[in-house]
Amino acid sequence: MDFTLSEAQQLIKQTVREFARKELAPIAAGLDREARFPQEIIEKMARLDLFALPYSEAYGGTGDGCLAYAIAVEEISRACASTGITYAAHCSIGTDPIYLFGTEAQKQRWVVPCARGEILAAFGLTEPEAGSDAGGTRTTAVLEGDRWVINGVKCFITNATRAGVAVITAVTEPGRGTAGISAFIVPTATPGFRVSPPYDKLGLRASDTAEIIMEDVRIPAENILGKPGEGFKQFMRVLDGGRISIGALSLGIAQACLDAALDYARERIQFGRPISKFQAIQFKLADMAMAVELSRLAVYKAAWLKDQGLPFTREASMAKLFASETAVRAALDAVQIFGGYGYMKEYPVERYLRDAKLMVIGEGTSEIQRLVIARELGC
């Protein structure tokens, strides 16, 4: 067993870390405060080929794979989780459905510009009545001649306003449960496709999250992904990969908490010495460092399994669950170590706490991850 990253992966880690430290970290607090989408950062990430990492060269990618991509998500999120979620939602749930299940023509038409970062992608599964119960989809798609006509509402959609393409689920065969759900590629410029004003969120405030409303959206018949009825399973498989991304994002936030708390504890003097010299603080930092390292192992292992073409559903859920709960705990402990200052906007840890909380909710709550793991155990 070799835990060493390849030369290419080390180079990606170094490059993204430097980029995030120099260009993103200094503006992250401002982006959060102003709830401003980091368009210029997204364009620079595209020029660095970060959107291309997971995809093969045949579709505009670099062929570096999921582990390299997870490392990039981690490093970006360490500086700015809002940018991290924009990146992760674009790649692993926005573009991946087309990459995994699209025809050659669909991949050339959509994956190539997504991998080049020329357009952003969004993933439309969640609805007002279909959250954890992903099969509760109410959106419908009806075939009329050579067009699918789509009607419905998708909520909490990352990149909704910015996306050039959205991949969504809709019921095509009512009464058949999850077997009656299909997935579609919807160009967002299609008449009848619109988005709500952005949500006013607790955290990840610089990411673009809105509702998608589809009213008689007519798309070509060939924009279905795979065959009718395959959408639910396709989306479940996509979410398996998405969970690696959220694990990596959580890992980035948790690492940022550790970095900030350690620096602060070494500088903050109380009772005549730095608070890092007190066991009460040391134990918090030690626990944080341990959980960060274990999260990294879990996330990298799940990504590695995916790259090998091996089953990874269980490992992805475990990585997402462990890393996201680590991020929340690390953020709470970082605020505690900062004391009163941690509660103030002028320090970054209150942002980490607000951002971390979404990690135990999005792309499958902690409760759903436990359910998936229990099912994988054969319960």
Q: Which residues sit at the interface with ligand COS, rule CB under 6 A?
A: 125-126, 132-135, 178, 232-233, 236-237, 239-240, 313, 362-364, 368, 371-372
Residue pair 219/146 in contact (Cβ under 8 Å)? The answer is no
Closer by beta carbon to ligand COS, 177 or else 339: 177
Residue whose structure tokens are 């210029």: 40
Residue 135 Cβ vs ligand COS, minimum distance, rounded to whole Å: 4
d(CA 26, CA 17): 13
Closer by beta carbon to ligand COS, 243 or else 284: 243
Residue pair 172/180 in contact (Cβ under 8 Å)? The answer is yes
Ordered DSSP codes for 283-342: HHHHHHHHHHHHHHHHHHHHHHHHHHT---HHHHHHHHHHHHHHHHHHHHHHHHHHGGGG
Residue 157 Cβ vs ligand COS, minimum distance, rounded to whole Å: 8
367 is known as an active-site residue: no
Residue 294 Cβ vs ligand COS, minimum distance, rounded to whole Å: 23
**What does the block give as tokens for 175?**
């009464």
Ordered DSSP codes for 133-196: -GGG---EEEEETTEEEEEEEEEEEETTTTEEEEEEEEESSTTSGGGGEEEEEEETTSTTEEEP
Instruction: Report CA dihedral (54, 59, 62, 65) to the nearest 10 degrees.
Output: 20
Closer by beta carbon to ligand COS, 5 or else 100: 100
DSSP helix/strand/coil, 212? strand
d(CA 187, CA 195): 13
Which among 75, 211, 325, 363 is annotated as catalytic?
Answer: 363
Paired sense of beta strands 147-158 and 209-220, if any: antiparallel
Residue pair 135/175 in contact (Cβ under 8 Å)? The answer is no
Closest CA to 67 of 314, 348, 304: 304
Instruction: Report CA dihedral (17, 1, 293, 202) to the nearest 10 degrees.
Output: 70
Distance of CA 214 to the CA centre of its chain: 24
Closer by beta carbon to ligand COS, 122 or else 257: 122
Residue 28 Cβ vs ligand COS, minimum distance, rounded to whole Å: 23
Percent helix, percent strand, percent coil in the chain, to nearest 5 = 60, 15, 25
Residue 343 Cβ vs ligand COS, minimum distance, rounded to whole Å: 30
Closer by beta carbon to ligand COS, 276 or else 365: 365
d(CA 76, CA 331): 17
Residue 320 Cβ vs ligand COS, minimum distance, rounded to whole Å: 10
Q: How many CB atoms lie under 10 A from the CB of residue 248? A: 33
Closer by beta carbon to ligand COS, 110 or else 123: 123
Closer by beta carbon to ligand COS, 147 or else 370: 370
Q: Which residue is nearest to ligand COS (CB)?
A: 364
Residue 66 Cβ vs ligand COS, minimum distance, rounded to whole Å: 16
Please give the positions annotated as active site: 363
